[in-house]
A and B are shown apart, each in its own frame.
Chain A
Amino acid sequence: MKTFSKELRERFPEQVLSVEESVSGQVTVLLNNSDATAITRHFLTERQARLVTVFAEDRVKAEGVFYNYYVFDRLGDPSWVILKAPISKDHPSFPSLAAELPSVNWQEREIQDWFGLEAAGHPNPRRVALHDNWPDVHPLRKDFPLDTVLPAFEGERHVYRPTLGEGVFQIPVGPVHAGIIEPGHFNFAVAGEPILYLQLRMFYTHKGTEKLFENLPIPRAVFLAESISGDSAFSHGAAFCQAIERAAEIEVPQRAQFMRATLLELERIANHIGDAGAIANDVGFVIANAHAGRVRELVLGLNETLTGSRVLRGMVAIGGVRRDWQRDQIEAIEKTLAVVEREFRDLTAILQSSNSTRERLERTGILRPEKAAMLGVVGVAGRASGVDLDVRRDHPYEAYRHLPFRVPVYQAGDVRHRLQVRIDEVGESLRIIRAAVAQLPGGPHRAPRQPIPPGRCALSAVEGWRGEIIHWVRTGENNRLERCKVKDPSINNWPAIVETMEGNIVADFPVINKSFNLSYSGTDR
């Protein structure tokens, strides 16, 4: 983003302390902590940029300071600008952007919880990632050992916003839910059936993932990346490997790039089919879910043929993929996809044949485009609400430069259109895979293994089936990591569910929630 960074230097000559582009297309701009807000505001208002994520790093031992990083991109420009603001350990505080930019609300509070850096001026500075009963610790600081044994749990003290008024009630749900889903707490305020508002509480599955990344040798950390969000094992694994490859300047062989793209799209197809069934199921259309479950099994069977795992684990590796494909495996792709395509077409017809189903899905759980943009919603949920983002197109990686696809975007933002985006994307993914297989180059499937040099930073983005996945790494000595920041698309999208509640009834919450199908584990890490 030469022009972007040049613009920045011309506009803020005093504030920009240094500019670095160690990885091609990733410009890191050093500035003072106090200037971050003004420059961010400038980016957002005058440059039509998007704040992708904000995160922190403890460099106190190495450089005497903490850093906050603000990652930006803008439509039509494939590179990234990363603002890097040092924060003194004696004044561990940074100016909060949350009041004007709700998308950073949780992420700034994560920084407060995990690093002990105050988000000054945050409109709701309560803890988010560490629950209220935690002692005063900051686990991502370097002086906090991973295996610290904390004092015993002392019970719940979280206070939800009170619900007042005649006939107004609270319905607490979770963290253990009625279905087979992940844990989180939903606190509904209702007046009869209609929902007045919803309060969310997450991070029940926080398991120290980012800290653990700093404690594993890099080759083993690939398996940890696969366990960030189990339904996106390959996407997160690929995002992590790509970050390391960029940092260490490892060239991934062409063949591996096309293989990875194929597997990323298979992950998308399997999850979208599963979601189409689950959305139908949540409005009582059980037979459609049964067919979807059957079709999804065909894809999982193909996954197993291609990777040895139904859910694509143990395949992606630093420098490529672990196993090459033989001719019969490649032939299985087209054979299976032909059946999947036919069956999915029938499933779509069944889904659309039922007026009562359409009634339940249309105008249910509407996320308006302006709200979606304000909250930084990404992925399927964003594209159903006019947010035209797709990492595959906007920041091409792997083989996607050579593969044809459209990005479906709708404005309606209801459950029906979140389903429609999925239906369209299954078709696009089939096209991508067929093109990838047709072009699959020969040659090695993995770059020769090499030690990872220390002190390198790189950002990686992958369009997982749910949306934009970001990994940022700093490599360390002895083939280890100093820091691995993980951003699952869910962290942007959860607050959007709250916004869809207005005018809906409790009975529609399950299908609204399912139409987003966000990852709890990816959020909580």
Chain B
Amino acid sequence: MFKILQKTFSVGTATADYPRIAPRVAEQFRGCPEFDFAAWNDARPAAEACPTGAIALIDSEGLRQVIVDYGRCIFCGECAETSADEAVRMTHQFELAVTDRRDLVLTAEYTLYPDGSHAALLSATSGPGMEETGKRIEAAIHNLLGRSLSIRQVDAGSCNGCEQEIVALNNPVYDIERFGIHFVASPRHADMLLVTGPVTRNMELALRKTWVATPEPKVVAAVGACGISGGIFGTNYASLGGVDAVIPVDVYIPGCPPRPEALLHGILLALGLARRGGM
């Protein structure tokens, strides 16, 4: 007993004060890629290398649409590595959670040349949700102490990668309970479902039943590339794709897996929603 106390006192506080203080990430950490659409002369190598189809090209006569979907991205860095012109760059950015799935999708339109290259950026969207999200979250944290949130985690078919990082939320470094947020054993006790994917055919019914068992008002967060879009599994004979193919989703948390701070960011975003929903 004495040994345990001694150890615990000698360690002191292990908890990192995220989100008040930006997390210390390794210099090598790969967040999401960033695209300089105006300088991007050839998107083909990146689209070819992308393992999950997060970068897609749609060519029509004289026009190329480049679609970048952060909801599919696994932060592998292949796009940056294969793009010779340095228009694609890996960043440390991971706070990507949004409430509108469309906010994870960027589109750029180019003039397409007959040889397959493109030039002359015609138009581009730039992740509209992200900055706004940051502000909304601050507001949510301000009002946090008045409310707690109960989360039921549902693995609807994941590889268990996301679960590892969700489990980490309970360790002393992230200590999610300091926000009054805790994981509960039953959907009947939950305000929020934190769902990983892809949703498999064999889990579809269980996910629906879990959602029905969760009392209103409730929020659903889809976690990770697979939870958002099916990720590398996409849709196939055994996979229905993202969580919103089966139940309504309020918050999308990109990553593969999202690091614990990214999960916290998304959960706090959802908390803001939950409050507005009258919980």
Contacts and interface: CB of A to CB of B under 8 A. Distances in A.
Interface of A: 131, 134, 137, 139, 144, 146-150, 153, 155-156, 175-176, 178-183, 203-209, 211-212, 216, 219-220, 222-224, 227-231, 233, 274, 287, 290-291, 293-294, 296-297, 300-301, 304-311, 313-314, 322-323, 329, 346, 349-350, 353, 519-521, 524
B154 interface: yes
Contacts of A208: 233, 236-239
B154 A146 contact: no
Contact of B203 (A180, A183, A323): A183
B20 interface: no
B3 interface: yes
A212 B166 contact: no
Interface size of B as a range: 35 or more
B28 to A, nearest CB: 5
Nearest 4 Cβ contacts at the A-B interface: A230-B161, A293-B171, A178-B185, A230-B159
Contacts of A301: 26
A314 B26 contact: no
Contact of A296 (B166, B171, B236): B171
Contact of B236 (A147, A183, A308): A147
Given A287-B8, A314-B75, A205 B157 contact: yes
Contacts of A206: 200-202, 238
A492 B204 CA distance: 26
A521 B49 CA distance: 25
B30 A311 contact: no
A222 B235 CA distance: 19
B74 A204 contact: no
Contact of A314 (B27, B76, B206): B76
Contact of B25 (A139, A222, A304, A322): A304
Given A211-B237, A227-B233, A294 B28 contact: no
B23 to A, nearest CB: 11
Q: Provide the main secondary structure of the chain A interface.
A: loop
A22 to B, nearest CB: 29
Contacts of B203: 175, 183, 204-205
Interface in B198-218: 198, 200-206, 210
B160 A231 contact: yes
A310 B171 CA distance: 15
Contact of B233 (A182, A212, A290, A300): A212
A124 to B, nearest CB: 19
B4 A353 contact: yes
A322 B7 CA distance: 39
Given A182-B155, A291-B7, A223 B205 contact: no
Contacts, number: 197
Interface in B55-90: 74-77, 81, 90
A521 B75 contact: no
A145 B226 CA distance: 21
Given A176-B187, A219-B49, A329-B28, A207 B233 contact: yes
A229 B171 contact: no
Contacts of A211: 236-238
A178 B185 CA distance: 4
Contact of B160 (A175, A297, A304, A519): A519
B160 to A, nearest CB: 4
A524 B200 CA distance: 11
B256 interface: yes
6 contacts: A183-B206, A205-B158, A231-B164, A233-B161, A291-B7, A520-B155
B266 interface: no
A436 B138 CA distance: 46
Given A150-B201, A287-B4, A139 B238 contact: yes
Contacts of A220: 49, 51
B11 interface: yes
Interface string B221-258: 00000100001110111110000000000000000110
A209 B157 CA distance: 12
A230 B158 contact: yes
B155 A183 contact: yes
Contact of A290 (B25, B51, B163, B171): B171
A143 to B, nearest CB: 13
Contact of A207 (B28, B168, B238): B238
A224 B206 contact: no
Contacts of A139: 237-238
B170 interface: yes
Contacts of B166: 180
A229 B205 contact: no
Contacts of B11: 291, 294
